Structure 1
């Protein structure tokens, strides 16, 4: 009887908690102060703890008070794009419920380390700022992050912890000064879109681990200084869109590139089959590719479809790309589009 009584009390507490949560959600408010040419924020006439969405975009704000941010405890969406912000308050780390943060189009040179405390964050947009680096341990803390947009900044590298953003689906780092990507990309098991285009003379190589991005659908590495695509890319089974124009590619050669994605994958897979037995580095990576079920290099016998399926580079659902370097992509490099924040990918 005692156990039954305890169960009843526990059920009652759960019902009360649910009711309290519903009542709190009913009290939450959306506050829109966008496009009002504000130089500073007015003294709020409402309880900051009741705001779930705050839009401060398209104003002239140069800073946000620490005390104000610290009281936005139920904030889920914070939009501050197109202001004159040079930094974010450290108290942003108090926003434990924050899911969307948009600070694009400002003058921000660095993100506060406290942003790592926003562990509910799913989308971070910091495009068109002056970022030269991201917090070193950002990938260890923001484990819920699904979209990271940092294009049009001054980033020289992405921190190695970026490879631990296991929930990440979209990574947009185009128009920076990137030299390379982190080596251990295989942890990005949910990544679908990767754009590191237009880093121009700085970006020369892709890590071999890019072949372990098992859910990658779109990859844009255009307008860099890449001469060789890693042969592990032949194992990207879900890849449907690849943009490589504007690179001095020698492997695969341009005549293969012009045949489309299907031919590029086939070329890289054949290259892996021919080379993986000798270099020690390739051996270790082939082992990982086999483990991730992206590559099978056990046999080169057979012809036709059976052989293609064994080698893991032809799949029925592949949608070939007509003319990776065709004129229809050349408009991307016009000055008007080069500095446009819009995404180049299309479905």
Structure 2
């Protein structure tokens, strides 16, 4: 132990497996004990206490800290010295009274998971997405966020974004940089969120999308190109496009409908020409389905529970019919997407 203390004092690198876990959770603490071996702490759990503040001097010296648990306290602010935690990977500050996060949190560049649920956050640091390049999970649900900063769209390592139960009025327009995003939940922003950006159709890794209980009337046509999408939740929205009779069939039916609108056969060319180039660039028109299941068949994984989640296949089969070459050829009317055709006839349409 004396050798470890000496190594810590000299600032030498301490292997992570030699670091200590200090669990001080659930002890009704009002202050953090000052008798801690700071240099050797790799995981510190101060959750479920009565802490109203964290000393600046404490976080400034926790130079080997990897995991910090502060959830379920009475914290109104975080110390600015939290930016000294250069090795911090997991930070949980949920269940507090935070109205903002210190800008210095951007200096925690090793951070992989940030949980700030159940606070009073009204905004996030403007440039947080430019700095936290290793962040994989961002959970900010149950706050008072009106918007996500533009820089959020630059969290290229992000896999999970949970921003439900806020007051979001919009999402960043340029979200195509989130190439690793697998789960996006912006549900229950209720009357505030009325539309979704077209760039959602360029999230090539997206598997789950939950936009339930908002005021969305139209889903972006570009969502029809999400070839890896397996779950779509749209319950509680006044949807007009696609109509609910399509939504209730299956995820595959929704994808077919939206792809048909991209083709413009319904006479409503709502997508800007620039987006076609991006869809081609991101290869969202390419790929084939791994399963061959008919629309609305019991095998498509579709379950219509009270929550009305849509589980099913990611893209329509024979996706080659949606290739840009076929879609934009002046010689092809692509009549199978006529609104007069039923979903069953879609599969009977003749195409070269």
TM-score range normalised by the length of the shorter chain: 0.7 to 0.9
Q: Aligned partners of 2:44 and 2:92: how far apart in 1?
A: 11
- Could you tell me which of 249, 259, 284 is aligned with 1:294? 284
Secondary structure of 1:263's aligned partner:
helix
For residues 152-163 of structure 1, the aligned pairs below 5 Å read 152-163=142-153
Query: Is the CA contact 1:36–1:59 (under 8 Å) kept in the aligned structure 2?
Result: yes
Query: Is the CA contact 2:218–2:239 (under 8 Å) kept in the aligned structure 1?
Result: yes
**How far 1:260 moved relative to its partner?**
1.1
- Could you tell me which of 264, 282, 289 is aligned with 1:274? 264
* Residue 27 (structure 2) aligns with: 36
Secondary structure of 1:200's aligned partner:
coil
Q: Aligned partners of 1:275 and 1:85: how far apart in 2?
A: 55
Q: Aligned partners of 1:203 and 1:277: how far apart in 2?
A: 27
* Residue 329 (structure 1) aligns with: 307
**How far 1:327 moved relative to its partner?**
4.0
**Length-normalised TM-score, structure 2:** 0.79
* Residue 315 (structure 1) aligns with: 289
**How far 1:320 moved relative to its partner?**
3.9
- Could you tell me which of 205, 225, 230 is aligned with 2:220? 230
- Could you tell me which of 105, 114, 123 is aligned with 1:115? 105
- Could you tell me which of 76, 79, 84 is aligned with 2:66? 76
Deviations 1:21-69 (CA, angstroms, capped at 9, x unpaired): 5x644542110000000011122242x1211000000000000000011
Q: Aligned partners of 2:28 and 2:80: how far apart in 1?
A: 24
RMSD: 2.1
- Mind listing any 5+ residue stretches in structure 2 that lack a counterpart? 1-11, 293-298, 312-352
Task: Determine if the alignment matches structure 1 residue 55 to structure 2 residue 45.
Answer: yes
Query: How many residue pairs align between the two structures?
Result: 293
Secondary structure of 2:82's aligned partner:
helix
**Length-normalised TM-score, structure 1:** 0.80
- Could you tell me which of 111, 115, 120 is aligned with 1:125? 115
- Mind listing any 5+ residue stretches in structure 1 that lack a counterpart? 1-19, 297-311, 333-344
